[in-house]
Amino acid sequence: MKKVGFIVNPIAGMGGKVALKGTDGENIVEKAKELGAEQESPQKAEMALESLKTELKEADQIKLITFPHLMGEELLKKSGLNYQVIGSIEKNNTTAEDTKRAARLMKEEHKVDLLLFAGGDGTARDVYDALELEVPALGIPAGVKIHSAVYATTPQNAGIIAARFIKGQISATEEAEVMDIDEKEFRKGRVTAKLYGYLKVPVERRLRQNLKSGSADSEERAAEAIAAGIIEVMEKDCLYLVGPGTTTRPIMQKLNLDYSLLGVDAVANKELIGLDLREADILQLLKKYSKAKIIVTAIGGQGYIFGRGNQQFSEKVLNKVGKKNIIVAATRNKLSALNGPLLIDTPDPSLNKELAGYYKVVIGHQDFMMQKAE
């Protein structure tokens, strides 16, 4: 019998309708409640459970492992699904720590085959802290902010994917980005998104956010072809600043170099010059090298190439390197899934304008796609 972890962050999504842009931090939850916010996350998690049950047909194929009260127990009690409650929480209050603790227990003691969680970016971060890449996980979209690529397109689809994964109809998984933005900044109108890491997520052709077709395997191969193409034309004595992401990672792997998946690394003459660089480090290197190129990919499935998840490429860095030295890499599937232009969102509007326009995006070995950036 397969085991599925089930965690609901009941306060996720409360800020949305009262325009609070997220509920990370206890004061905000109080404020949301004062403004009349209702819990929406449990409703969405319930929709996911319903479709899970329908898709499974025989509900006894699985056992759901959950946390008490609103973190899952109450929904499962109504669902008719087979479940077990573990751990303990304060009845009317849940925190990020509870999510992390639940995920960790489910991974270590109950060895779940899949963790299904309802929430937003903050919840995905908590789950990531506990799981990393060890256990497959899938998000039920219920939060205000969803910048992470670990969520299904709808709660119903989350249930369908989970069921298909359990039944073995989907076997492949892939690494999907866990992103979060700084809510304090966000409330002031500034989006500063950070790439926190990757969760292992079941690959379903069309039911997960921003992924329309292709398998995990073909995505990996496409990223390898991109890397081969970029390495082949690397120029002598040119500094290459390799941005974060699974698309750029094979460049470092093929060069047999260490890399920081979430940070910016520097390469010159196929040697590692710097790992996980800060803006100041990059500016230092730019003084040293007369030629420099930036290699970036769109992060988080929304198409941002600058300004989200790679702020190390600051305005100063970008001004110094210049548009013609920017290499954008993305697999054909990811690019097609954007349904819109690539996005640039640095704090400097005139720089954004300067960097806008068409890019010859590397999509494979000697293979390019003209893509507009705005």
Partner 1 sequence: MGKTIFRENFHQADWDEPIIYEMSTPGVRGILVPEPDQKIKDRAGDVLAKIPASLRRKEEPNLPEVSQKHVLMHWTHLAQETMGSNLTNDISEGTCTMKYNPRINEELVENTDFSLLHPEQSEETVQGILEIYSEFENIVKEVSGLDKATLQPGGGNHAVYTAASIVRKYWEEKGELEQRDEIITTIFSHPCDAATPKTAGFKVITLQPDEQGLPDIEALKEAVSERTAAIFMTNPEDIGLYNPKVDKFVEIVHEVGGLCFYDQANANAFLGVARAKEAGFDMCHFNVHKTFGTPHGGSGPGNGAFCCKQKLAKYLPVPTVEHDGDKYYPDYDRPHSIGKVRDFYGTAGVIVRAYAWVMAMGEEGLRETADISVINNNYLYRNLVEEVKGLSYCYPDNGLIRQEQVRYTWKELTDDTGVDTLAIERRIADYGIQHYWTSHEPWLIPEPMTLEPCESYSKDDLDEYIKVLKRIAEEAYQDPEMVKNAPHKAASRKRKDDNMLDDPERWALTWRAYQKKKDKIHAD
Residue 146: both structure tokens together: 């969803």
> How many other C-beta atoms are found inside a 10 Å radius of the C-beta of residue 109?
11
Binding mask 273-312 for partner 1 (x = CB under 8 A): ----------------------------------------
Select 325 or 336, whichever has its Cβ closest to partner 1: 336
- The label of the residue with tokens 């796609």 reads 369
Q: Which 347-366 residues touch partner 1, going by CB under 8 A?
A: 357-358, 360, 363, 366
Q: What is the CA radius of gyration of the chain?
A: 21
Q: Does 61 bind partner 1 (CB under 8 A)?
A: no
Residue 275: strand pairing partners: none
Read off the amino acid at residue 138: L
Select 72 or 214, whichever has its Cβ closest to partner 1: 214
Binding mask 214-243 for partner 1 (x = CB under 8 A): xxxxx-------------------------
Size of the site for partner 1 (CB under 8 A): 35
CB of 292 to partner 1, least distance (A): 23
Q: Which 66-85 residues touch partner 1, going by CB under 8 A?
A: none
> How many other C-beta atoms are found inside a 10 Å radius of the C-beta of residue 30?
10
Select 65 or 344, whichever has its Cβ closest to partner 1: 344
CB of 4 to partner 1, least distance (A): 19
CB of 312 to partner 1, least distance (A): 28
Work out whether the CA dihedral 186, 191, 195, 199 comes out positive or negative.
Answer: positive
- Are 20 and 11 contacting, i.e. CB atoms less than 8 angstroms apart? no
Residue 24: both structure tokens together: 């990370």
Q: Which of 203, 230, 239, 266 binds partner 1 (CB under 8 A)?
A: 203
Select 198 or 359, whichever has its Cβ closest to partner 1: 359
Q: Which of 61, 213, 269, 284 binds partner 1 (CB under 8 A)?
A: 213
Give the contacts of 303 (CB within 8 A, at least 6 positions apart). 338, 340, 341, 342, 343
Give the contacts of 183 (CB within 8 A, at least 6 positions apart). 21, 22, 24, 25, 28, 145
**DSSP notation for 271-318:** EEEESS--HHHHHHHHHH-SEEEEEE--BTTTTEEESBS-TTS-HHHH
CB of 50 to partner 1, least distance (A): 12
Residue 174: strand pairing partners: 201
The rounded distance, in Å, linking the Cα atoms of 301 and 7 is 24
CB of 348 to partner 1, least distance (A): 23
Select 86 or 369, whichever has its Cβ closest to partner 1: 369
Residue 84: both structure tokens together: 């077990």
Residue 132: both structure tokens together: 């990393």
326-328 and 238-242: which strand pairing?
unpaired
Select 184 or 365, whichever has its Cβ closest to partner 1: 365
CB of 169 to partner 1, least distance (A): 5
Q: Residue 147 CA to chain centroid, in angstroms? A: 6
Q: Which of 179, 313, 371, 373 binds partner 1 (CB under 8 A)?
A: 371
Binding mask 133-172 for partner 1 (x = CB under 8 A): -----------------------x---x---x---xxxxx
Q: Which 34-53 residues touch partner 1, going by CB under 8 A?
A: 51
Element (H, E) at 124: helix 121-131
Q: Which 313-342 residues touch partner 1, going by CB under 8 A?
A: 332-333, 336-337
> How many other C-beta atoms are found inside a 10 Å radius of the C-beta of residue 303?
23
Q: Considering only the stretches 42-50, 136-144, 203-211, 235-243, report the one whose residues sit in contact with partner 1 under the rule CB under 8 A.
A: 203-211
Query: Could you list the residues that contact partner 1 (CB under 8 A)?
Result: 51, 156, 160, 164, 168-172, 203-206, 212-218, 332-333, 336-337, 357-358, 360, 363, 366-372
